[in-house]
Amino acid sequence: MWLYLAALVGLYYLLRWYRERQVVSDLRDKYVFITGCDSGFGNLLARQLDLRGLRVLAACLTEKGAEQLRDQTSDRLETVILDVTKTESISAATEWVKERVGDRGLWGLVNNAGIFHPLCCTEWLKIETYVDVLKVNLIGLMEVTLSMLPLVRKAQGRIVNVSSILGRVAFFGGVYCSSKYGVEAFSDVLRRELQHFRVKISIVEPGYFRTGMTDLLWSLGKIKQAWEEVPAHIKEAYGQKFFDAHHNGVKQGLLRCSTNLNLVTDCMEHALISVHPRTRYSAGWDSQFFFIPLSYLPTSLADYILTRSWPKPAQAV
């Protein structure tokens, strides 16, 4: 019986491997629009797709980021300045894309732009921080998608939304997790609504990677700043020892972040060029072999595994 089961599992993965190897034709005629290309995943993906011959339309937040990207790529790649928190910027970028793609439409939309907040307890963050993160990571993603959707529908193309493994397992960073859970839900609804238009939606869920958002000095500096600005009664509740232990724990976690960003951009590329893209891509060993299995455990057991090493606040009961 076990032999038959193993054979069936092996056959399933063999068929999936063969199916996912099939690549879309005429890639050199297809346009892909990517947000957040100043650095990190978006920057690497833009260069990666440019090497494959696709027509990359890269959105950067700054002219400096756009100029650096153009210097590293072919003449096919074009850049535009985009702030996903501003409706007028999104509208202007959409018109810019429409002028370039014409009647063929937009084959791929990659919603990659995102920000993180200080890696600290939810209670330490100001409400302005919550609003800023949600504006970029969720509302901005939604507005860009809705603005570009007619162009993607015309091409019967792809939408790739970058979520996070923290959109599957809420571990820390309450508002960041909330924004990524929102991305997951929005993508699921969109996938079901657009299936009859032959538009495919994929979600990429990276684990911990070393990008600008997880820069060690920036992150630790932001934690200290957040702690210094919290009200006195919150400091008393948690205590300096808790902060010191938390600060050290974050530092050790950031030092373990993967530097192989291709694990993420390869998933994005596959979602864009495969005839049969996956609905979800878990990028990174921590994502695939720790967080995803953890998400299927009973909640009480997952809570214990995730928090057993956390320090206790000074006023813990």
Order of all β-strands in the sheet with 108-111: 78-81, 55-60, 31-34, 108-111, 158-162, 200-206, 280-283
State how far the Cα of 221 lies from the Cα of 21, in Å rounded to an integer.
44
Instruction: Calculate the alpha carbon distances from 242 to 133, 214, 283 in Å.
Output: 25, 21, 32
In order along its 317 residues, the chain shows pLDDT tens digits of 777 787 787 777 788 777 778 888 888 999 999 999 999 999 999 999 999 999 999 999 999 999 999 999 999 999 999 999 999 999 999 999 999 999 999 999 999 999 988 888 999 999 999 999 999 999 999 999 999 999 999 999 999 999 999 999 998 778 999 999 999 999 999 999 999 999 999 999 999 998 887 888 888 999 999 999 999 999 999 999 999 999 999 899 888 889 999 999 999 999 999 999 999 999 999 999 999 999 999 999 999 999 998 889 988 87
96 belongs to a structural domain = yes
- Sequence-ordered list of residues with C-beta below 8 angstroms from that of 38, at least 6 positions apart, any chain: 60, 61, 62, 64, 65, 66, 69
- Sequence-ordered list of residues with C-beta below 8 angstroms from that of 253, at least 6 positions apart, any chain: 208
240 belongs to a structural domain = yes
9 belongs to a structural domain = no
Instruction: Calculate the alpha carbon distances from 188 to 79, 132, 207, 291 in Å.
Output: 29, 24, 20, 20
- Predicted confidence at residue 64, as pLDDT, reads 96
184 belongs to a structural domain = yes
Whether the CA torsion 167, 110, 154, 26 is positive or negative: it is negative
81 belongs to a structural domain = yes
- Sequence-ordered list of residues with C-beta below 8 angstroms from that of 26, at least 6 positions apart, any chain: none
Phi–psi pair at 54, nearest 5 degrees = -70, 160
Range of the domain at 123: 16-308
> Is 208 an active-site residue?
no
Identified catalytic residue from 4, 13, 130, 176: 176
- CATH code (residue 258): 3.40.50.720
Instruction: Calculate the alpha carbon distances from 258 to 10, 58, 159, 211, 284 in Å.
Output: 29, 25, 25, 9, 8
90 belongs to a structural domain = yes
Domain count, the chain: 1
266 belongs to a structural domain = yes
297 belongs to a structural domain = yes
Query: Whole-model pTM?
Result: 0.92
Q: How many Å from the N-terminal Cα to the C-terminal Cα in the chain?
A: 52
